[in-house]
Amino acid sequence: MKWLLLSVASLSFAAPWQHQQPLVADALDKPYVGQKVVRFPCPSSIGCDRNLLERIHNSQGFVSVLSVGSRHVDVQVDATLAQEFTGSRASSVVVDNVQELVDVEMARLQESQVRFADMSDTERFAPENWFSDYHKYDEIVAWYKNLAAKHPDLVTFIPSIGKTALKKDIIAVKVTSPVNKATKAQFWFHTGDHAREWVGPSTVQFLVHSVLQDHESNPTLLDGAELIIVPLMNVDGYEYSWSGNRLWRKNRRVVKKDIFGSVGVDLNRNWPAHWGEGGSSTQPFSDVYMGPSAGSEPEVKALINFFKNDNHTRLVGAIDLHSFSQLVLRPYGWTEDPAPDEKLLKKAGDDIRDAIKRTHGKKYVSEREIDLYAASGTASDWFYDEEVQEWLPDRRLYAYTIELRPSADEANGGQGFILPPREIVPTGQEIYEAVKGYIAFATKNPLLVKLAL
């Protein structure tokens, strides 16, 4: 999920995060004991006051900005800071006990896992059961394998495009029909960069399910496009978030054996696209730690190698799905200079926003990433930027980060990541409708680049 509004975008994360404590210590069974989510009102309708966020980020002890709504900022703080932050007359506590919030969710998940364990694969994979809750990594892999077995003419399952820091396989799938297979436009989707954003992988699962379900009656999409999908990038972090550390964000590579127990790199600050030029941290214990070098993380390397495959030279667009805040973000995140294709990027992004609203009435905001906050080393900027254009010199890609449900105004900080499973299907439905329009528009209006003679 993304954090800062334009009025505070000039703040560099590197310095403010220097005093932030690690999200958890691995030895703790209850990593969020004593932590609260505190809400501060924004004094201006255009964003939160720069001095307020400076004070928050520079506080001693664990501080994490979870979300910024239209008129407030939600901050997660540890027990040592609770008194300092709640002592402000302007602040209010919206989650009094983060650990209790996580405990309730983990107990619910345990009951759900018992229920699924009693089912056969046929029952478990039935849409009415599968999309009733979230699933662990091994279950997700089995689900995609089952889809490929059921639809061998439409789905190709790739068991590994590379390994994670802890040597887990990162899977991929390709979805298309045999029609015009060698010439049709290609579209990239990946999700699960951040471990706690569970609705991302579930939404991609629903997208694939819907495409296959509709193909017989409406073959237009798969006859005209190939979907290249990485369903879960941050496998290690995602599995770790199932162990009780539900709000973990980064991957699980041990970065530095210091007093903080610094573990993990923010995978969506590690891509080699203007890496380290704002909106990330050089501090290993930060949630937005950008890593020791551009593209240092095995997960990022695996996706780049797979992306730049000789069989992927017909790519037209790429989307990275996150949560939460209900946003459709387009390049750039590292500079206020407009992208060369700003007009068409805005048109396609606005169309995604409008298709989502038509489905269930949810209001997403379509904007440039830099107009929300500064962010560098992100996947969507890499999709659009120099390295990919050098590889595909005749075009640029329709590149987006989509932040899924809920909106920052609907959720109380960390509760936004713990999205109730009843939201899986409607979230998937609105994204499916948006993707259909996005593919049609981008295929018809590719971002062609005139080659120098």
Task: Please list the active-site residues.
Answer: 403
Residue type, 231: P
- In the block, which residue shows the tokens 């889809």? 147
Contact 352/366 with Cβ under 8 angstroms? yes
Contact 424/406 with Cβ under 8 angstroms? no
- Region for 37 from its dihedrals, namely left if φ exceeds 0, alpha if ψ lies in -120 to 50, beta otherwise: beta
- In the block, which residue shows the tokens 């050089």? 282
Structure tokens given for 450: 């005139």
Radius of gyration of the chain (CA): 21
SS3 for the chain is: CCCCCHHHCCCCCCCHHHHCCCCCCCCCCCCCCCCEEEEEECCECCECCHHHHHHHHCCCCCEEEEEECCCEEEEEECHHHHHHHHCCCCCEEEECCHHHHHHHHHHHHHHHHHHHHCCCHHHHHCHHHHCCCCCCHHHHHHHHHHHHHHCCCCEEEECCCCECCCCCECCEEEECCCCCCCCCEEEEEEECCCCCCCHHHHHHHHHHHHHHHHHCCCCHHHHHEEEEEECCCCHHHHHHHCCCCCCCCCCCCEEECCCCCEECCCHHHCCCCCCCCCCCECCCCCCCECCCCCCCCHHHHHHHHHHCCHHHCCEEEEEEEEEEECEEEECCCCCCCCCCCHHHHHHHHHHHHHHHHHHHCCCCEEEEHHHCCCCCCCHHHHHHCHHHHHHCCCEECEEEEEEEEEECCCCCHHHHCCCCHHHHHHHHHHHHHHHHHHHHHHHHCCEECCCCC
Residue 195: alpha-carbon gap to chain centroid: 9
Residue type, 148: A
